Amino acid sequence: MSNSFNSNQPMGYYNQQQSANNAPQQYMGNMGNNAQEQQVLTAIQPVVHHGMREAQHLGFPHALREATAIAYLMGQGQDFYTAWRTVESWWRPQTPSQPGTF
């Protein structure tokens, strides 16, 4: 994939190699005009990076579910690492239960 914006892609799409600092102007719009925007964009940056990495290996639907779930848990007060570990645990095989338990 190239790092250039492709007019055939949906509006707002940008290549995973691009960061918010060099995203196409169509995507950025008026972003960066206040402190709250910067705070939110900084907070979700690890989630975006994680989702883009996951998409390469597991596809976009799965990656979007994971990234959204992580962001939701972060909104509930968890830090990125805790939210990430929680969400990842939902897709890991569970250890066999102890004999006699369900």
Domain contains 6: no
Q: Is 102 helix (H, G, I), strand (E, B) or coil?
A: coil
- Determine the structural domain holding residue 50 and report its residue range: 45-91
Domain contains 23: no
Domain contains 26: no
Domain contains 2: no
Q: How many domains does the chain have?
A: 1
Domain contains 62: yes
Domain contains 68: yes
- What pTM was estimated for this model as a whole? 0.59
- Residue 95 in tokens: 């250890």
Angle CA(79)–CA(46)–CA(44) in degrees, nearest 5? Answer: 75
Please give, one letter per residue, the 3-state secondary structure of 28-70. Answer: HCCCCCCHHHHHHHHHHHHHHHHHHHHHHHHCHHHHHHHHHHH
pLDDT tens digits for the chain (102 residues)? 333 333 333 333 334 334 444 454 555 566 657 999 999 999 999 999 999 999 999 999 999 999 999 999 999 999 999 999 999 999 876 666 555 544
